[in-house]
Amino acid sequence: MKPIRKIVIPVAGHGTRVLPATKSTPKEMLPVVDRPLIHYVVEEALEAGIEHIVFVTGRGKGALEDYFDHAFELEAGLEAKGKTEILEDVRQPIMTPGSLSYTRQQSPAGLGHAIWCAREIIGDEPFAISLPDVIIRGKPGCLREMVDHYNKCQGNIIAVEEVPREEVNKYGIIAPKSTDEALMEMTGMVEKPSVEDAPSNFSITGRYILQPEIFSLLEKTERGAGNEIQLTDAMAALMTQQPFFACTFSGESHDCGSKIGWLKANLAFATDRPEFVQELQSYVGELF
């Protein structure tokens, strides 16, 4: 069995749902409390034992590369002032040389196309994908739990979450064979089904483990919804050839690709920081 060593994190989108904030700042660099979204996503990947991160980037995403690199002047200044705690925080995202790769998607032709751009770096091994606008609150992280499942069942795995039945039309929804286990065998998935037609109320969350055969299928995938090459279309094709599972996870997801999701994430993650809790609670109480 080949272990999950690599992850693809696509960051080439335009983030139109959170404009104008993303006009000159990559969506993935929007902060939640005091660190950018991408920090949480990389931390979750490392906790899952991932050794190599592949970012699929695009124009204007340079800030993201800098975040994972040394900032010599800043670090020297902090060191000179004895600000060791902040210095530690600043250095924390820096990874071992060679464990980060960047490849460029020249135009955002869809999530499926972005993943396909990483094919040469991933090669012939199973790999993970994390969508960086979704951050997960809770330990163990979602990817850790997925890798643990993978080590027992292999195949392809998609993380899912239960959503209220009346809201299934906002999400990608899976069709499970049965729903009585943490790891559910899947028979299909549908994008934004009507409440009446939805095969379940388990929505796709933005974390995947896939086999490398997905790349040849992506190569053949025609443009679909939104005139984009969709990962879901290639996964549906792969599902006819290989086992697919869906797993729930113990944390809670926050979709920071929407304004309200990002606002809620800031509040939720702040409650994990004892230094902010009391003041924030009384302030929110005053506001509403």
The residue range among 47-55, 80-88, 130-138, 197-205 that interacts with ligand UTP, by the rule CB under 6 A, is 130-138
Among 161, 133, 132, 124, residue whose Cα is nearest residue 146: 161
Bridge partners (DSSP) of residue 9 are 55
- 114 touches ligand UTP (CB under 6 A): yes
Task: Indicate the residue among 26 and 176 with the shorter CB distance to ligand UTP.
Answer: 26
Task: Indicate the residue among 155 and 232 with the shorter CB distance to ligand UTP.
Answer: 232
The residue range among 9-17, 187-195, 216-224, 237-245 that interacts with ligand UTP, by the rule CB under 6 A, is 9-17
Per-residue x/- track, 55-74, ligand UTP (CB under 6 A)? -x------------------
Segments of the chain assigned E as strands:
6-10, 31-32, 35-36, 52-57, 100-104, 127-130, 134-137, 156-162, 172-176, 183-191, 202-210, 244-247, 252-255
- 84 touches ligand UTP (CB under 6 A): no
Give yes or no for a cis peptide into 36 (omega within 30° of 0): no
Number of residues that bind ligand UTP (CB under 6 A): 21
Query: Which residue number is nearest to ligand UTP in terms of Cβ?
Result: 13
CB of 181 to ligand UTP, least distance (A): 28
User: Tokens for 1?
Assistant: 């069995």
Q: What is the CA radius of gyration of the chain?
A: 19
Token pair 């800031």 in the structure block, residue: 266
Task: Indicate the residue among 78 and 231 with the shorter CB distance to ligand UTP.
Answer: 231
Dist. CA 211–CA 235, nearest whole Å: 10
7: three-class secondary structure by DSSP: strand
- 5 touches ligand UTP (CB under 6 A): no
11-50 binders of ligand UTP (CB under 6 A)? 11-17, 27
Quick one: which of 45, 54, 126, 133 contacts ligand UTP (CB under 6 A)?
A: 133
- 109 touches ligand UTP (CB under 6 A): yes
Token pair 């012939």 in the structure block, residue: 124
Query: What are the φ/ψ torsions at residue 247 (nearest 5 degrees)?
Result: -130, 140
CB of 20 to ligand UTP, least distance (A): 12
Q: Which stretches of the chain bind ligand UTP, using CB under 6 A?
A: 10-17, 27, 56, 105, 108-111, 113-114, 131-133, 257
